[in-house]
Chains A and B, each alone.
Chain A
Amino acid sequence: MQEPTFLILTALAEEPLHGYGVIRAVQDLSRGDVVLRPGTLYGALDRLTEQGLIEADREEAVDGRLRRYYRLTDSGATALATQAERLRRHADSAEARLRGRVVPGVPRLGTAQ
């Protein structure tokens, strides 16, 4: 699962959001690192809908603008949880490795002399 996809699913985890809502949520979640462009967003929403990971929740017309809200499906929640667990494992492994990193001239902590 690519990072934008992961972030879109994460954005929809709590509550249904419309297109611009997803863009804002992804920007917040990534602390500004990922700013989705509309073309990318709707390509991803279309693909995720086809995969059954999200679905249309409702449509609202505000000031003549049609806003379609998307929500995470059960299948999407499972896929997101699996990916989150996978990323957590990878992050834990990375941190563990970094703790054991040998820096020349600096003795490793906890190593018996």
Chain B
Amino acid sequence: MTAADAGPERHYRRLLRAYPRGYRRRHGPEILATLLDMAEAGHGRLTAGQTAHLIACGIRQRFRLPRRVLPVVAAVLAAVLLGGFGGVTGNWLAWRAAPSVPSAAESDALTTALTGVPGSNEYPWQTAMNGPGINTVLHGTGTYDAERVRDALIADGWRITRFTEETGGRIVDWGSPTEKVIPLLSVRFAATKDGVSLTGDTDTVMGGKEYGLDGQTTARLDITTDATATIVPMTIAGAVIGLLSGWMLTAALAYRIRSGTRRGRPTAAAVTALTAATVPSFVAYCEIYQVLVYDTSNPNQYIDYSLADEIPASLVLIGLPIAVLALAAVFLTAGRRAGPDPVPASP
């Protein structure tokens, strides 16, 4: 290799990185020689179009499978399975970039400020689109003060979008001659703050001292992060990346398995990985389905029913690590030869 070759050679080597490693090992030097031969023969350096074509050929090579039925079936399965995991990962990443809901301590402080009663219980949950949510429930004894509720929300930075006061009653001794309705005052409200929505209500019993009900206060807050514009696109993008990755991974492993003489173990490990990933991936697709069909204008963000609910969580918890371990086994055993490795030829 002459000194004049060094510049173009470096450039061509960089371009060849578009090809998979195994292919580069087999054909890299001869493609490089051909490119240098072409340059020397007066074709000059590659044009932008030729460069793009070479890179496109390298990327296409990453998706190319051996001409056998098994690798094709495995590639389709792997693409479908990893598509599910990719979609869930994309969704997870999108929510990481979205605003978060208040912490349990912050929700507790807000509920206390609203009602003047401490000691609420917080329950984190996830919306139908897998967004963060937190539920707060408080039971105690306090006083009714609608303005305190309004002031506490505003002081905490919330923009009130709905605020109504209602009257009601609590029935005591129901069905008996002493049945009585104790008045109840309620505030129902909704508010937003920096991409987070809150709905809630407080009820305070006004009277019924003889029943121990006077001042009995209940408050409920439901705070969720609003679905951002990136949730659905990132879920779909994740699924597409997962599909492509599954296909590429199978292509790489298929050639690696084929290059070895011991193909039984890696093939068995690959079948195990695909089988073990089936149930977790199905659950992932159920999640994706919920994300895609969810009506973001629906005030009730809970999932009514998902097919994934029928599947025991243990199957997912067992299936995933088995799939990962089996995949690791494919990497470790693929390409192995029965005898000692041949001594590489000196350059």
Contact = CB atoms under 8 A, between A and B. Distances in A.
Interface of A: 18-20, 23-24, 37-43, 46, 50-51, 63-68
B180 to A, nearest CB: 87
A19 B56 contact: no
Interface string B139-154: 0000000000000000
What class of interface size applies to chain B in its complex with A?
Answer: 20 to 34
Nearest to A62: B33
A20 B31 CA distance: 9
Given A19-B30, A68-B30, A42 B57 contact: yes
A39 B52 CA distance: 10
Given A19-B34, A65-B37, A38 B29 contact: no
B298 interface: no
Contacts, number: 67
Interface of B: 1-2, 5, 23, 27, 29-38, 41, 50, 53-54, 56-58, 60-61, 66-67
B30 A18 contact: yes
A46 B154 CA distance: 70
5 contacts: A18-B33, A19-B34, A23-B34, A42-B34, A67-B30
B284 to A, nearest CB: 34
A62 to B, nearest CB: 8
**Which 9 pairs, one residue from A and one from B, show the smallest C-beta to C-beta distance?**
A39-B57, A19-B34, A64-B1, A65-B33, A20-B37, A66-B29, A68-B30, A39-B54, A20-B34
B27 A46 contact: yes
A42 B28 CA distance: 10
B33 A66 contact: yes
A50 B255 CA distance: 12
Contact of B30 (A24, A37, A66): A66
Contacts of A40: 53, 57
A43 B63 CA distance: 12
Given A46-B27, A63-B2, 9 more contacts: A19-B33, A40-B53, A40-B57, A42-B30, A42-B31, A46-B61, A64-B1, A66-B29, A66-B33
Given A37-B50, A65-B1, A20 B41 contact: yes
B37 A19 contact: yes
B38 A23 contact: yes
A42 B5 CA distance: 21
Given A63-B1, A65-B32, A50 B66 contact: yes
B171 to A, nearest CB: 80
Nearest to A51: B67
A39 B34 CA distance: 11
A5 to B, nearest CB: 15
B36 A65 contact: yes
A112 to B, nearest CB: 56
A63 B1 CA distance: 5
Nearest to A68: B30
